[in-house]
Structure 1
Amino acid sequence: MSKRLKFIVATFVVSLLMSVVNRVVFILYNYTMIAAECSFVELLQCFRHGLVLDLSIAGYLTALPLLATIVTVWQPASWRKTKVWQRVMNSYFAVIVFIVAVIECGDIGLFEAWQARIDAQVFIYTPKEMMASLTLANILGALAYIGVTVVVLFYLFSRISSRWFLPQVCEERYKPLRASAYTFILIIAAGLLFLAMRGGTTTATANVSKVHFSHRSMLNKIAINPIFSLIESATTGDDLARFDYFSFKKAEEIFANSLHCSEAQSDITNARWLTMERPNIVVVVMEGMGCTITESYEGEEPVTPNLTALQNEGIWFENMYASSFRTDRGNVAIFSGFPGQPTMSIMKLAKRASKLPGIAAALNSVGYSTRFFYGGDSNFTNTRAYLYSTGYMEVIDEKRMSLEGHRSKWGYADDAVLDYAAEEIISRIESSDAPCFETILTLSSHEPYEVPYKRLEDARLNSFAYTDECIGDFVDKLRNSAAWENMLLILVPDHSTLYPTSIGNHSSERHRIPMMWLGGAVREHIVVDEYMSQTDIAATLLAQLDIDHSEFIFSRDICAPGCAHFAYWTYPVGFGIIDSEGKTIYDSASDKVLVEEGVNHDERIEVGKAWLEKTFIEIRKM
């Protein structure tokens, strides 16, 4: 009997050490980023606070071996076959260690880009989409890590099984009294295992928020067990009521009041920025082109000289913020005026996404033709279905372009796509009297940052410099054509990028993005200082065109009298709000405020919670 208990204890201990060692590897792999924020003593605290989830995962992994051990106490003589039990246990451990290795590898590799531990969002993206972000070195490193982890863990578990479990299988069947005594002992062990699995004896069961112990988010992230994070988010990710903070009536009231401010007056109130009612509209969505990039230098070299120069033309929006941190969510924010969600992507829910409003649909209703250009696969995160359902008449992607030149894993390089789009747009405008709405999504400034261009040493910055040059050439082509006179050209990113990595995924710097309106249809050069979000583009644009925008309930016309000027964004575990009086960033997992600058923090938290709840109220209606 002692060997059976040793088997259970050893399995549990190895499972626990597996999580501890993984945390060490995680820290070492991301050391540069982590060391900039955390001291050695603080890192030790991450191990202590993270223990509750490590114990929980160890309990889950030990549960089936414990059940098998109880079965062997009562098994009939015909079951006492070592080879059969050996196959059962080896199969179990082989499957478990492979799954664990893949999860841990994905978590370690994605952290720099996501700034969050792995969760169910990973299932939003297909293997093809995720592989497009990886270099050959990344792939080989991942395979090596998975291989080593599988071999080491399987060896340990199989040794434990062969030493302390299998020798007991062939023992003679115990007499009922003795078997009952052994079973009682194992049931006590099961009870202890259950306590580990549920996270202790308190009313709150194990959950990710239990390991949050600091106001500094990096420490909390390190403490999280990635396997637990993935399981928890996968089993709760479809809970559309998880962000219900208020009663329905209260949430609606706070949300409605947040849109307006009786004292809100600014230089842009009732402003008319366009010289015509029906300009041809071109929107270029610039992959990841945040302000931390456009305001960066490598030595004395500006990263994006073309975009910097264009800020002095047309309308420059100084305080524009991305709604979220992914392309699929950014596109929905821009074209549907719908906020990003922390833990899911509505674009992936085709049935619900089909009920979103769209700028393209609104423009269709007044006679615009609408097209979307993308140099990659438009099926990415259900993009094609979303575009058609929100009003685009044509979606032109890599399958229709057949272009020459450089291709990355994501698709055609930006120079080829923007050249192609410029020719198509100019041709459409010159050959048709109907106004057009043309959209281009760039892709080259995305991991793995492989571009046919070399100006800067840093691969990431160089890819953005390349896209900047492509956009400069694109603008010049349009400017030098007759189409420019009646054109409104909008340049805006889908989201920002985590550069430098020290800024944190939740920060306002991570979400501030450039936006400019250019073209012959723009009345004059002005700088708009008012705070706004991507979600406000829809209402603001349609209002300038005198088109109804009432169905865009999250979108504010920033020129409307009484409009409350603030920016709202979400990140994987919370939200942020910034306005002229300060900013507040809230972590919903730990129910803690991460950043407080200025005044009115309680009010911002209430508004942010109401916006988050309202977002999911509307999703549930769809």
Structure 2
Amino acid sequence: MLERLYFLVRYYLYWIIYFIISKEVFVLYHFNKFHGLDTWTQVKIFWVGLRLDASFAAYLSILPFTLLAFSINPKIQKSIFSFVKYFTYLCIIICTLIVTIDLELYRAWGFRIDATPLMYLSSPDEMMASAGASPIGLLIFIWVVISIISILAFHFLFQKVRFEKLPWLNFPIVLFFAAVLIIPIRGGLQLAPINQSAVYFSNKLFANHAAINPLWNFADSWFNKTADKGNPYQYLPTREAESEVSRTLQNSSPTTEYVTDTTITKPNVLIITWESLTAKVFDKTGGIKGVLPELGKIADEGILFRNCFASGDRSDKGLIAILSAFPAQPTASVMTMPKKTAHLPILSQDFKKQGYRTAWYYGGEPEFANIKSYMLAGEFDQLITKENFDPKDMNSKWGAHDHVVFNRLLNDLNGQKEPFFVNYFTLSSHEPFEVPMETVFKGDDMKDKFINAHHYTDRSLGKFIAEAKKQDWWKNTIVIIVADHGHPLPKDDKKIDNFHIPMVWTGGALKVKGKVIDAICSQNDLVATLLAQLRMRNPAYQWSKNIFQQNYQPSAYYVFNDGFGWVAPKGYFAFDNQGKNLIETTGKVDSNLVKQGKAYLQLSFQAFLNL
């Protein structure tokens, strides 16, 4: 038995060492970029990158580990090992080919290999033209040399493998070790499976890219179809769609109502992104009374946007809409694709250019949905996440509960150099809705737990705002409270209700108090509206509208699985792209209104593909 276990360990470590050596080849090939990094960052490329190396090594080990369980029968032992040997040789050749192609693709494209090159297999002429400037001879030499050395190393290490005969009772024991591979495949025992964010650790993009395992990245892209370039939403001729969207996104008015104190040159900005904050639990947006009393008080003292809508139905889509003003996609998520998010504008970069200190707070795992890579691309000065809290504060399934992070945030802001831009993403109102608070709304079903969780976050927010008002920085600060997305709970009657969310502005830097905005607006409009108040306009946020401009065109767009909704003053509809039909309508929904929504989806999805 010990001989078999020893073989399994060596086989797994063989692949990890192979990936470490491959990474060494990559940094040598791009030595100019690697040489520009400090020594500690160079070391962390290999150390942090081990997580994806270990994950893909586990994938490659599944079949050999499983087959080894059958080697208990000596009659087929030799055949099994021969199969494992030639299977490994084939894997070496294919993996090395991908690793070698990645060397030159990174130089040309600036991102690690994914399934994108597969698109060119149907266009061999274009593929050869793209490869024309590459050092083909050198790449073939690298492929052959690494393959030969790896095969010889395997032969040397495993040529004398012999296993003793074991009773069949040991079969499940050996098979168990194959099952254990699920742990490194997922990247550990954490809630979310591993993704590229697990190896993003630096503000230097090359360092993060170098840490990625190219085989893992390629397989992830292939199986998840992240390189699919087809636009399934070609409803209109391009020029007609562009004309429709241009009218919708009018942002040219020089006249803006200023609701902030314009005498403050650089006000601080704090955006609190509230997990699953649906309008259905807030009485001031038509929801249940008594759930969010603190948010109600805050709204009364500030500005309430009563008809705001989320762009998507998940956190990864909401954060992109709030910070980058980029619309959500019905069949994909740009957040999960670091090579695309790297091209998005993001508020943290705009504020950093203006001399602001920037920080992002989240009490959970930032690797979830590749959020970490997005925030690092945004060049935040600090990422305060699960790792920055004591183990005793990990009092939630997701990490640190909201009151813990609010306390940390308050303490940090009191010592923060002004001006600052901070985004805090809460988590306690996420499933399973378990919060460290005595139950206020009695009941054990998910609806009651959901409501109680929001009541807890509301209470935590209220205490934070009350203390913040006592601080010197409050008088110079704009605080924006907005949901990452809505939620089907507490009742799921219409899709539009699941995307209806509150947005509240408060803070000492507001000069307008007790104002209610009834105009239809979107998460996406937050960026243009905020930047206009600070006279920091940026045309890169082309999907965002200034709500306070004179000719604001009220509308909102949201997506669900292969469908979208469009909200306008005269009517609302939801469209199912699979069935090619309207599934909900309210008000006057005519062909022109449907055309507006379809044009928006068509061009925004194309913009996503073009990133």
Name the TM tier (shorter chain). 0.5 to 0.7
Does residue 372 of structure 1 match 2:388?
A: no
Q: In 2, distance between residues paired with 1:399 and 1:296?
A: 37
Matches within 5 A, 1:187-586: 238-260=228-250, 270-275=256-261, 276-295=264-283, 302-402=290-390, 404-405=392-393, 407-428=395-416, 432=417, 434-454=418-438, 455-457=440-442, 458-504=448-494, 507-525=495-513, 526-586=515-575
Q: Secondary structure at the match of 2:492?
A: helix
Q: Secondary structure at the match of 1:364?
A: helix
Q: Deviations over 1:573-606 (max 9, x none)?
A: 2111112212121111111111222224322221
For 1:257, give the aligned amino acid: R
Contact 2:186 2:193 in 1 (8 A): no
Contact 2:299 2:505 in 1 (8 A): no
TM-score (norm: length of structure 2): 0.60
Contact 2:450 2:490 in 1 (8 A): no
Q: Deviations over 1:407-451 (max 9, x none)?
A: 2121001110110011101210xxx3x410011110000111111
Q: What is aligned with 2:600?
A: 611
Q: Secondary structure at the match of 1:508?
A: helix
Q: In 1, distance between residues paired with 2:561 and 2:188?
A: 19
Q: Secondary structure at the match of 1:489?
A: strand
For 1:445, give the aligned amino acid: S
Contact 1:332 1:347 in 2 (8 A): yes
Q: In 1, distance between residues paired with 2:452 and 2:396?
A: 15
Q: In 1, distance between residues paired with 2:403 and 2:518?
A: 32
| Alignment gaps of 5+ in structure 2 | 1-184, 195-222, 443-447
Contact 2:192 2:368 in 1 (8 A): no
For 2:596, give the aligned amino acid: V
For 2:488, give the aligned amino acid: L
Q: What is aligned with 1:25?
A: none
Offset at residue 552 of structure 1 (A): 0.3
Q: In 2, distance between residues paired with 1:522 and 1:296?
A: 20
Contact 2:356 2:421 in 1 (8 A): yes
Offset at residue 460 of structure 1 (A): 1.6
Q: In 2, distance between residues paired with 1:260 and 1:296?
A: 29
Q: Deviations over 1:459-500 (max 9, x none)?
A: 221111111111111111111212211111111110111123
Q: What is aligned with 2:30?
A: none
Does residue 599 of structure 1 match 2:599?
A: no
For 1:370, give the aligned amino acid: T
For 1:582, give the aligned amino acid: G
TM-score (norm: length of structure 1): 0.59
Q: In 2, distance between residues paired with 1:522 and 1:413?
A: 29
Offset at residue 290 of structure 1 (A): 0.8
Q: In 2, distance between residues paired with 1:127 and 1:612?
A: 38
Offset at residue 560 of structure 1 (A): 2.1
Q: Secondary structure at the match of 1:616?
A: helix
Contact 2:450 2:489 in 1 (8 A): no
Contact 1:342 1:570 in 2 (8 A): yes
Q: In 1, distance between residues paired with 2:566 and 2:408?
A: 39
Q: Secondary structure at the match of 1:503?
A: coil
Q: Secondary structure at the match of 1:302?
A: coil
Contact 1:425 1:438 in 2 (8 A): no
Q: Secondary structure at the match of 2:457?
A: helix
Contact 2:389 2:400 in 1 (8 A): no
Change in Cα spacing, 1:585 to 1:261, as seen in structure 2 (3 Å) is farther
Offset at residue 544 of structure 1 (A): 0.6
Contact 1:237 1:343 in 2 (8 A): no
- Alpha carbon RMSD of aligned pairs, Å? 3.0
| Alignment gaps of 5+ in structure 1 | 1-122, 133-232
Change in Cα spacing, 1:125 to 1:462, as seen in structure 2 (3 Å) is farther
For 1:436, give the aligned amino acid: F
